[in-house]
Amino acid sequence: PQAGSLGREDVRNCSSNPPFLPVTAVNTTMRLAALRQQMQAWNLSAYIITDTDAHMSEYIGKHDERRAWISGFSGTAGTAVVTMRKAAVWTDSRYWTQAERQMDCNWELHREGDIPSWVLAEVPAEGRVGFDPFLMSVDFWENFDLELQGSKRYLVSITTNLVDLAWGSERPPLPSQPIYALPEEFTGSTWQEKVSTVRSYMKNHTMAPTALLLSALDETAWLFNLRSSDIPYNPFFYSYTLLTDSSIRLFVNKSRLSLETLQYLNTNCTSSMCVQLEDYSQVRDSVKAYASGDVMILISIEYTNYGLYEVIPKEKVVINMYTPVMGIKAVKNSKEQALLKASHVRDAVVVIQYLVWLEKNVPKGTVDEFSGAEYIDDLRRKENFSSGPSFETISASGLNAALAHYSPTKEVNHKLSSDEMYLVDSGGQYWDGTTDITRTVHWGTPTAFQKEAYTRVLMGNIDLSRIIFPANTPGRILDALARKALWEVGLNYGHGTGHGIGNFLCVHEWPVGFQSNNINMNKGMFTSIEPGYYQDGEFGIRLEDVALVVEAKTKYPGAYLTFEVVSFVPYDRNLIDVSLLSPEHLQYLNRYYQTIREKVGPELQRRQLLEELAWLEEHTKPLSA
C-alpha cells in the first residue's frame, strides 16, 4: 500500500504561502469575530462548543448545528473550543479528511490529545471557560472539571448560548411537525405495559429511586410509542420524561399533539397511568421543584445534560451510566424481533435492486456517487412502511470510500467506474424497524491487495458472526475477533466494530455494541457487525450486517449465545480470495447464502423481480476452496 498522495487539492493546506483552501472550505472569520465579541461581554477566556443537543443526540436538528456553523466542519462528532486567539476542533479518524476539506485556516484540527490539556495550555490562570450546560452531558462535565481542578481555570455554566447570539436570525427555526402514536401492529408492548415494567425495575433498584428522568430522545419515543421528525433521519421529538411510581410527566410542546394523541396518553387525569403534560421549556424548573422534596432521582450520566443535573442536590441524585429504559429497550421481545427482521427482508430487496442497477449502469458511465445515493434512497422510499433513510447515504467511490463517513453532494461527487471499488452504506427507517447495511463492490479487476484486504474484512465479519460465547459477555471481549484477520497482516480500522439498532428508532442505538462502554450481550439484542479497512487516498472497504443475539447449541449444557445475521445481501464474489478462507469460513458463508435465498428469493418472486432473482441465485452460488 502507498501512503496518501501529497499536494491533494481536496483538502486545505494552511502551511503553504498563501494558504490553500479547497472550494468546500467555509469562511468562518466573521462568525468567530461575532462569538468572540460575546465571549468578551461574559469575560471568558475560552468557550466550549459541543456537537450535540440538550439530549446528547448523535444526530441533531439544523438549529442545533452550532459546532458546524461556527467551524464549517459538519461531521456528527467533534468538539470545538474557541479562545480569543485560537480556535480548535477535536474529532475522530472517521472525520479527519472531511474536517480538512471543510474548515478554513482559522481552525486547528486535533487528531489526538485531550481538550482539557489544550485548555490548560491556552487559558491563563484565573481564566473562565464558558459552556452551555444544556449541551454538555454530566459525564463530559465531570471529566473536564476533574482535569481543571486546582489549576485556577474555571468552568462557567452559562444558560444563554453564545453561538446562538452570534448566529442570530440566520439560525434555523425549531421544528413543529405533529407528534403521533405508532399503530399498535408496529409496537412490542403498549406504553402502559412499558411504564409498568420500568416502574418494577425502579422498585428493585438498590438505591430505590423515587423518580427516573429520561433525557435521551429515543427513551421517551420508545416508552410512549410516539414518533415525529424533529431530527433528520431520526423519528424523534424534543422531550423529557419524569417518571415516578405514582405519576408520569412528559415535557413537550403540547400544541404538537392532536386530540386523538392526547386521549391515547390519558392526559385528562393525574393518577399513576395518566400522562401529565408540561411545557418542554419548564423541565429545569420542574425538576428543581421536584428535587426540593424527599426524593431520589435516577439519571443517566451519558444522556442527562449538566443543566438539569446542576439543579438536583447531590444527595438526591442516583447516577447510572444508562437508565433502565436503555437496558429494557435493548432487549427486543419476540414481536419486536419479528418486526425488525421483516424490515430487513424488504431492505435486502432494495439493496439487491440497487446492486443490479449499478451492474447495468456503471459501465455506461452514467452513475455518480450522488445519483447512486439518490437512486437507492428512492428505492427505499417506495417500500412498505417507509419513513425515509435512517442516515445520510454513504455512497463512496475510490479514494472517497477511505473516509468512513463520506457522503457525496450534488456539487461535489465522483463518477462510479469499473476501475474502482465502490462502498455503499445505507439504511432505512420503516415503521417496523431501522436498517443499516454496507456492501463494497468492484466491477472490474481489483488488485491483489484490494482482494486480500476485502477478504480479510469478510473473515473478520464471519469470525465474529459465528462465535459462540457465554451469556452476559461484554461486547468489548468479542471485538478482537472482527480484527484478527486484519491484525495478522498489520491492517486495522479506526472505528467501532458494531452498534445496537432500533425498532424505528436510532440507527446507532446505544448501549449495545462492542466497546468498553457498551452493556453485556444478551439474548434478544440486535447489533451491527461491521469491520472495515481504509487505505487513505485510495479505497475503502466495509462489510456491515445486522445480527440478533440468540441462544447457541453447545455440546455441553450452559447459557451460551451466538449471532443470527438478519441482513440478507450477498458479498462481492469478485473481491473474495477463497484461498484465504478456512473450511469453517466457507461453510458459514455457504449456509448464509442459502439463508439469503430462502428469505429474499420468495419476496423477489412475489414481486416478479425476476432479473433480481436471477442475480441473487448467481451471487449466492456455493463457494469452494
Partner 1 sequence: MAPRTTSLASLWVASTLAILSWSN
Contact residues for partner 1, defined by CB under 8 A: 77, 92-94, 114, 139-140, 143, 301-302, 321, 391, 394, 404-405, 425, 427, 436, 438, 474, 476, 494-499, 507-508, 513, 515-517, 520, 528, 530, 532, 542, 544
For partner 1, the closer CB: 290 or 422: 422
Q: How far is the CB of 493 from partner 1 (least distance, A)?
A: 8
Contact assessment for residue 87 and residue 46, using Cβ atoms and an 8 Å cutoff: no
Q: H-type helices in 382-495, by residue range? A: 448-465, 475-487
Please tell me the distance from the alpha carbon of residue 50 to that of residue 105, in angstroms, as a whole number. Answer: 20
Cis peptide before 18 (omega within 30 of 0): yes
For partner 1, the closer CB: 325 or 616: 325
Written as nine digits, the cell of 382 is 417506495
For partner 1, the closer CB: 115 or 349: 115
Q: How far is the CB of 136 from partner 1 (least distance, A)?
A: 12
Q: How far is the CB of 302 from partner 1 (least distance, A)?
A: 8
Closest CA to 222 of 181, 255, 251: 181
For partner 1, the closer CB: 93 or 286: 93
**Single-letter amino acid, residue 373:** A
Q: How far is the CB of 137 from partner 1 (least distance, A)?
A: 9
Helix (H, G, I), strand (E, B) or coil at 131: strand
Helix (H, G, I), strand (E, B) or coil at 154: strand
Written as nine digits, the cell of 287 is 425538576
Closest CA to 32 of 109, 111, 105, 113: 105
Secondary structure (H, E, C), 469-518: EECCEEHHHHHHHHHHHHHCCCCCCCCCCCEECCCCCCCCEEEEECCCCC
Q: How far is the CB of 514 from partner 1 (least distance, A)?
A: 9
For partner 1, the closer CB: 151 or 268: 151
Q: How far is the CB of 438 from partner 1 (least distance, A)?
A: 8
Q: Which residues, other chains included, contact 183 with Cβ-Cβ below 8 Å and sequence gap of 6+?
A: 431
- Kindly report the backbone phi and psi dihedral angles of residue 563, in degrees, each rounded to the nearest multiple of 5, phi listed first: -110, 145
Closest CA to 456 of 588, 579, 595, 596: 579
- Kindly report the backbone phi and psi dihedral angles of residue 32, in degrees, each rounded to the nearest multiple of 5, phi listed first: -65, -40
For partner 1, the closer CB: 502 or 532: 532
Q: How far is the CB of 188 from partner 1 (least distance, A)?
A: 24
* H/E segment holding residue 116: helix 115-122
For partner 1, the closer CB: 239 or 465: 465
Q: How far is the CB of 598 from partner 1 (least distance, A)?
A: 28
Please tell me the distance from the alpha carbon of residue 464 to that of residue 482, in angstroms, as a whole number. Answer: 5
For partner 1, the closer CB: 79 or 228: 79
For partner 1, the closer CB: 341 or 508: 508
Q: How far is the CB of 91 from partner 1 (least distance, A)?
A: 9
C-alpha separations of 43 from 67, 87, 145, 234 in Å: 21, 17, 19, 38
